[in-house]
């Protein structure tokens, strides 16, 4: 009897040891001194780690992630070009905080202003871009908040385009990760954020040395962005992204007391992702998944493509074979015209009963309403075809 009891006790002990080991492996304890933090895989948005990720906090200059989203979106839609010149307003030149000392009336290209924002976190450059896109910073902030609603960011509200302290200006680590995910859809953004140092007005008397506020891009070859933030209220914040073996991750930390601790925690999160997770690619960005044949539109046939790379992510230790199911859903009711890049549906990737990811499907070109004469000709042709049978 005693032997049986001892054996049962041994089995129970082993079971508890196994549970404890699994829990430790899953939770991966960090020395987390941030008010809020999160780690996600970029293409799927899968959360790999989070701590107090939805608390509303001051984002400081991480605000500029949303500013850059709207800038890159405008460039992508050909509403703005990198070579386009912008005349700096007196208001933009008056911005305090971090700046590149733009002068009222000075002419800068969009490319140089984006560089100033992405590398040096320039408030004056942010406002100059905002005014170019929306006419005023106030109107641009309306667009920022509208975009936040489109992305379903429930813990974000902006009052300016730069992140300067303002009442009712807040976000969360989760929302910042989702914004970073959105910005990284524009793959050339890392051509700016990965630069450690550069110059504005190179060779001129007022040449300005740009030094990246994100020191991780200098010392960690896998890190190629994204945006730092600091104010006395927000403390040290960072949304960092890194790429390794076709897997891109985003780590956001907010409210850390020192830049050293901020960078240390960020790298621990990134290294955790690369050590324990793997990505399997399903579709590239802008890969055609289906098309729409619309008799009311000008061109009739329109390709529907992915808006971002679509992958699945799982732990390296997970031996289960993922056999993803792909479900393409298009909008049944929509009114014309629809612009290039506008969402027309979504692709859902699932594994048995679990949804692994949902991603927007977009149009490759503008879908215009066909003229009355075009629709008349099509109707006539259809009637002629029916009569011929």
The residues assigned a catalytic role are 61, 64, 121
Contacts of 83 (CB under 8 A, 6+ apart): 109, 110, 111
Please tell me the distance from the alpha carbon of residue 156 to that of residue 36, in angstroms, as a whole number.
14
* CA–CA distance, 93 with 102 (Å, rounded to integer): 5
Cβ partners under 8 Å of residue 72, min gap 6: 183, 186, 189
| Cβ neighbourhood burial of 261 (10 Å; 0-12, 13-18, 19+) | middle
Q: Helix axis angle, 64-76 relative to 137-150, nearest 10°?
A: 90
- C-alpha distance from residue 118 to each of 112, 125, 136, 168, 225 (Å): 10, 10, 21, 24, 9
Distances (CA, A) of 277 to 183, 248, 315: 23, 11, 4
What is the C-alpha separation between 336 and 275, in angstroms, rounded? 47
**C-alpha–C-alpha distance, residues 119 and 121, integer Å:** 6
Asked if 221 contacts 128 with a C-beta cutoff of 8 angstroms, the reply is: no
Task: Answer for the pair 286, 321: CB distance below 8 angstroms, yes or no.
Answer: no
| Other beta carbons less than 10 A from residue 348's beta carbon | 15
Give the contacts of 342 (CB within 8 A, at least 6 positions apart). Answer: 362, 363
Please report, for residues 269, 378, 380, the alpha-carbon distance to residue 64 in angstroms, rounded to integers and kept in the order given: 22, 48, 53
Q: Are strands 343-351 and 354-363 parallel, antiparallel or unpaired?
A: antiparallel
Judge residue 155's burial from the number of C-beta atoms within 10 Å of its C-beta, 0-12 exposed, 13-18 middle, 19 or more buried: middle
């Amino acid at each position: 009897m005693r032997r049986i009891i001892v054996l049962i006790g041994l089995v129970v002990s082993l079971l508890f040891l196994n549970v404890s080991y699994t829990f430790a492996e899953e939770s991966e304890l960090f020395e987390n001194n941030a008010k809020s933090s999160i780690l996600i895989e970029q293409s799927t948005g899968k959360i790999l780690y989070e701590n107090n990720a939805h608390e509303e906090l001051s984002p400081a200059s991480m605000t500029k992630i949303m500013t850059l989203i709207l800038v890159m979106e405008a460039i992508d839609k050909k509403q703005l070009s990198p070579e386009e010149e912008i005349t700096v307003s007196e208001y933009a030149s008056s911005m305090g905080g971090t700046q590149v000392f733009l002068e009222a009336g000075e002419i800068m290209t969009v490319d140089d202003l984006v560089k100033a924002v992405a590398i040096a976190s320039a408030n004056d450059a942010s406002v100059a871009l905002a005014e170019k896109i929306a006419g005023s910073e106030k109107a641009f902030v309306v667009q920022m908040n509208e975009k936040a609603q489109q992305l379903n960011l429930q813990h974000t509200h902006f009052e300016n385009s730069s992140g300067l302290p303002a009442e009712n200006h807040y976000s969360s680590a989760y929302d910042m990760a989702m914004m970073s995910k959105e910005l990284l859809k524009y793959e050339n953004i890392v051509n700016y954020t990965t630069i450690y140092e550069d110059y504005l007005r190179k060779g001129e008397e007022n040449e300005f040395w740009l030094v990246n506020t994100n020191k991780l891009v200098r010392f960690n070859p896998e890190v190629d962005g994204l945006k730092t933030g600091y104010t006395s209220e927000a403390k040290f914040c960072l949304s960092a992204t890194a790429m390794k073996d076709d897997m891109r991750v985003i780590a956001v930390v907010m409210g850390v007391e020192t830049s050293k601790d901020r960078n240390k925690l960020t790298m621990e999160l990134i290294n955790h992702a690369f050590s324990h997770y793997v990505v399997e690619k399903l579709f590239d960005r802008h890969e055609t998944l289906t098309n729409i044949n619309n008799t009311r539109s000008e061109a009739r046939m329109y390709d529907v493509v992915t808006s971002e790379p679509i992958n699945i992510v799982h732990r390296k230790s997970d031996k289960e074979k993922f056999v993803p199911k792909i479900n393409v859903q298009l909008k049944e009711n929509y009114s014309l015209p629809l612009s290039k890049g506008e969402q027309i549906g979504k692709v859902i990737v699932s594994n048995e009963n679990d949804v692994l990811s949902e991603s927007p499907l977009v149009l490759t070109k503008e879908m215009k309403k066909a003229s009355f004469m075009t629709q008349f000709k099509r109707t006539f042709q259809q009637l002629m075809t029916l009569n011929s049978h």
